Every structure is written in C-alpha cells, then in structure tokens.
Amino acid sequence: MQTSETLPPDARPEFSRRFWPGPHAILRHPPEGSMRRLLTLPTLASHLLASLLLSSPLAAETRQHANLIFTLPEGWEVGAVLDDGTLILRSDLPEDDCEYCRIYLSTGSQIGGKVVDWLASQSRRFVEDDPTDPPEVTPMTASGVTNLRGRPSAMRGQTVDGDLQVLLAIQLFGRMELLGFEGPASDAEELAATMQVFERDVMPLVEGLGFVSEGAKPVMPPPEPGPLTGVWWGTTNWWSMGLDGMMTMEIDHHWLTFWPDGLFYDGTPPNGTAPFDPASLTAAGDMDWGSYQLTGATLTLSYASGEVEVLEVSSDTFTKGDKRMDPITPLADGTKLNGVVSTIFVSGFTPGFGGSGGMTAMTDTTYAPDGTWEFGSYTGASSTFDNGAGFATGSEQSDAGRYVVKDGLVIQYAKDGSIARSRYAFKAGSTIWIGSDILK
C-alpha cells in the first residue's frame, strides 16, 4: 500500500449531491495533531484491509443494486434512490446510533483509466448541490492504489460542511464502482463514534461485495412465462400530521404491470405497457422490476433488488393487508383528451408560530383535443402576527407543449421536444384517471 497524500483543494468536479446538511464545525481546519490525525486515510485503509481479513457480514439479507451484490448490514434499511441512480442505505440502528449516517451505493461507470484519478473526479458525487449555499467540501487525505481482494481500489476522506465522508472506488474490468459513507463528525467524540459504525457495518458490506459484471449471480430468480398481462391499480390510505398539527388522510396509488414473459414493473414503467430492457434499467439503478410467479392463490413478486413481496389472489384482484389492486384498461393509443387535472394543497402554519395564516399551492394541467397541454401553478403564503404585523407572498409558473397517448401513458412533451412527464391514463367506470388524478 502506498503512503497517503493530501489532495489539492481545487480537485472538485462539478457534479454534486448531498443528502442532508451537517454541522458546520471544526473538521474544516483542525489543529495539527488533532482530528486530522484521526481522519487520515492510511488509518482508514489499514482498517479496511484488516476488516477484509477478519470480518464477515452481520446479516444474511442479500440485495442487489445495479452491478453490486451486497449484504444489507444489520440495523440498516433501504432508503431513496437519487436521480443519478445512487441507492441510499439509512441507519435504523437501535437507540439512534449514528442516526444521520448514510451509505451510498452508486451505479458505477463503464470507464477505464487509473482508479485514483477517477476517484478524485467523483469527490462531489454524493454532495447535494445548492446554488444559493454551495456546500464546502474539504479534502483530507487519499490513499494510493490498494489491493482489495485482487482488485485495484482507492479511498478518499473529506468533510462536507463538517460531516465526515469516506469514498471507496473499486476498479473492475472495463468499469469502476463507487461507494460512500457519511456521518456526523462535529468533534472528536462524535468522529470516533462514526468511525466505529464505519468499521462495524461498512467494512463487512465491502468485504462481501459481488459484481454481476464479473460473474456474480443476480439475486432475482430468472423469469418464466406466466399467465398475467396488463396493468393493475389500487390505493392505500394512511394518516400524516401537517404543519398545522392537524391529521390528514393521505392516499397512495399503486400500479403493477405484467408481461407474459414473467416480468413485472412496480410503479409507472418508463415505456408503459411496452416491453422494457432489464439490463438498461439495472444499469441505471432502477430496481423496481422483477420476476413473478403465480401459484394457486399466491402471487410472489421477486424484485431485481432482492426484495420479495407476496400478494393474495382472488379472481382478478390482488390483496395484501389494506391494499387492493384490480385490473385496469389503459386508454387506447392516439386517444385525445379534453379536460383539466387540478391539485390543491392548503396548510396552516405550525402551532406556536406566533401568528395566524398558512400556505396554498394549486396546479392545473389542461389537455386539449388538438393534442396540446398547458400547465399553470400558484404558490402563496400569508400570515398575521400577534403584534399586528404580517406578510403575503406568492408566485406563478406556467408551461405548455404537446401530448400523445401511447402504450398506456400520457406522454407530455415540452416545447424543446424533451419529455416533461409521463403517467398512466386509464378509465375506471366513467372516470378518466391521469396517474393519481382525475380528469374533469
């Protein structure tokens, strides 16, 4: 292993993404002999190499994201997928242990070159961009090329507005993989606790990584031809507390689309009811598809991610708890729409705000029979304070373009020809639905 060297402060590529704001604290310019010594990557790299020899995964829940096969650490749960396909694992450890820690699994990149150079170019990959208040990324140290189970790898330590972020790049044949870990580090004690989680949970995950491009078996069972074809739709209800302290019933809409080759998609497929390319979705980090198996009254959905869901089947209806899904018939290709989809959100301010008032958000999307659409929105807020003062503010937006109904979707094209939005369009009884909204 080569000795580490401090990265130049200007090695900061353009793309940025940060999951949450961290404490603005002492890790930016720690005094000599203090936390910079704790954060040097020779220490991190040596811990990694030691863990590869001594550790084993703590849980047996195997998952896949893009090219990576990994074991979900005990006490962690699958979170959101970012726009670039990166999967976030969120801490759900007992007693809020490392509550704001995150593990990032990217989709990697089909690229050659040196792993250390590529890692330097990814320094802002997991940093959320904020043009009004750009986060400060402070390079700490980076390792040279290390041997990770026979594969060239490199590590980089940095702080993002004071939070610790460790990046790990692994070089495979014709591609690079990138993982990240982020946690609070406002002082030496917090940094030490974060590093314990890194060594305990992240090291076994790295040690157990498999790579589909190098022969690792995908976790999803291969599809077999099945009897289901078409789209199923249903809703579930739940309660949430608004800003004003009032309980509001929320309605979630669910879609499942099936193909006779044994594949399904959960949500709105990119191509609607047309067949999709599993390899392309996987490479982009879209793991909302999988293979299904219908056995008697049991429908088993095996997702590409490794998750499994089981639904009960009665006639053409799928149920699980309070979820019920029934088959729907999407609108025919070329259908012309004539109506408006409207949404509205109204909320008061948080109790104890010191005044009365609230905010309102409204949108209207108008579909015309000539194949055009227009969008308008208004967002406003107003309040009167206890001392008699107050404020009122608002803003409006508009957009327009053309639409087409194809493969079950209403595809809205912007003026420049790009796809602005696509949603399922179907008829339930006498009501036409555009996604989760009614066309009136």
Do residues 305 and 239 both lie within one domain? Answer: yes
Least confident among 18-27, 156-165, 238-247: 18-27
Asked whether the predicted pLDDT for residue 356 surpasses 80, the reply is: no
Q: How far apart are CA 440 and CA 433, in angstroms?
A: 9
Q: Do both 56 and 165 map to the same domain?
A: yes
pLDDT of residue 35: 35
Cα distance between residue 263 and residue 28, in whole Å: 49
Give the C-alpha separation, 337 to 79, whole Å: 37
Q: Are residues 196 and 251 part of one domain?
A: no
Tens digit of pLDDT for each residue in 133-189? Answer: 888 888 888 778 888 889 999 999 998 988 999 999 999 999 999 999 999 988 888
What is the C-alpha to C-alpha distance for residues 103 and 129, in angstroms, rounded to an integer? 18
- The domain boundary residue, chosen from 301, 329, 357: 329
10 found inside a domain: no
Backbone angles phi and psi of 192, in degrees to 5: -60, -40
Range of the domain at 135: 17-214
| Distance separating alpha carbons of residues 337 and 434, to the nearest angstrom | 10
Assigned domain for 6 exists:
no
CA distance 220 to 233: 24
Q: What is the CATH number of the domain that holds 264?
A: 2.40.128
Do 362 and 316 share a domain, yes or no?
no
Q: Which domain-ending residue is among 145, 179, 214?
A: 214
Assess if residue 9 is contained within a domain.
no
Separation of alpha carbons 94 and 249, rounded Å: 29
Report yes or no: 243 and 348 within 8 Å, Cβ to Cβ. yes
| CATH at residue 160 | 3.40.1000.10
Among 141, 115, 136, CA closest to 44:
141
How many Cα neighbours within 13 Å face the side chain of 333? Answer: 5
Q: How confident is the model at residue 3 (pLDDT cuts 50, 70, 90)?
A: very low
Query: CA torsion sign, 361 to 21 to 119 to 214?
Result: negative
78 and 133 together in one domain: yes
Cβ-Cβ contacts under 8 Å for 63 (sequence gap 6 or more): 69, 70, 71, 72, 78, 219, 305, 306, 307
36 falls within a domain: yes
In a domain, 149, yes or no: yes
Residue 359 within any structural domain of the chain: yes
Q: Which two tokens stand for residue 393?
A: 């503010």
User: Is 254 contained in some domain?
Assistant: yes
Over residues 236-252, the mean pLDDT reads: 66
pLDDT grade for 31, boundaries at 50, 70 and 90: very low
Bridge-based pairing of strands 102-105 and 175-183 is: antiparallel
**Total domains in the fold of the chain:** 3
Average pLDDT rounded to a whole number, residues 10-34 = 29
As given in the structure block, the two tokens for residue 431 are 């009501």
Residue 7 placed within a domain: no
Are 186 and 236 contained in the same domain?
no
Of 167, 186, 214, the residue at which a domain comes to its end is 214
Q: Are residues 169 and 266 in the same domain?
A: no
Whether 49 and 41 have beta carbons less than 8 Å apart is answered as no
Bridge partners for 256 per DSSP: 232, 266
- Mark whether 191 and 263 lie in a shared domain: no
Highest-confidence range of 5-9, 57-61, 354-358, 381-385, by mean pLDDT?
381-385
The full DSSP string for 379-435 is: EEEEEEETTS-EEEEEEEEEEEEEEEEETTEEEEEETTS-EEEEEEEEEETTEEEET
In the predicted structure, residue 426 carries a pLDDT above the cut 90: yes
Structure tokens at 237: 């209800």
- Structure confidence at residue 29 as a pLDDT band (50, 70, 90): very low
Residue 317, pLDDT score = 96
Does residue 159 share a domain with residue 56?
A: yes
- Over residues 331-353, the pLDDT tens digits come to 999 999 999 998 887 776 665 55
Residues 198 and 62 placed together within one structural domain of the fold:
yes
Task: Give yes or no: residues 113 and 204 share one domain.
Answer: yes
The verdict on 138 and 34 lying in the same domain is: yes
Rounded to whole angstroms, the Cα distance separating 285 from 220 reads 15
The pLDDT value given to residue 45? 47
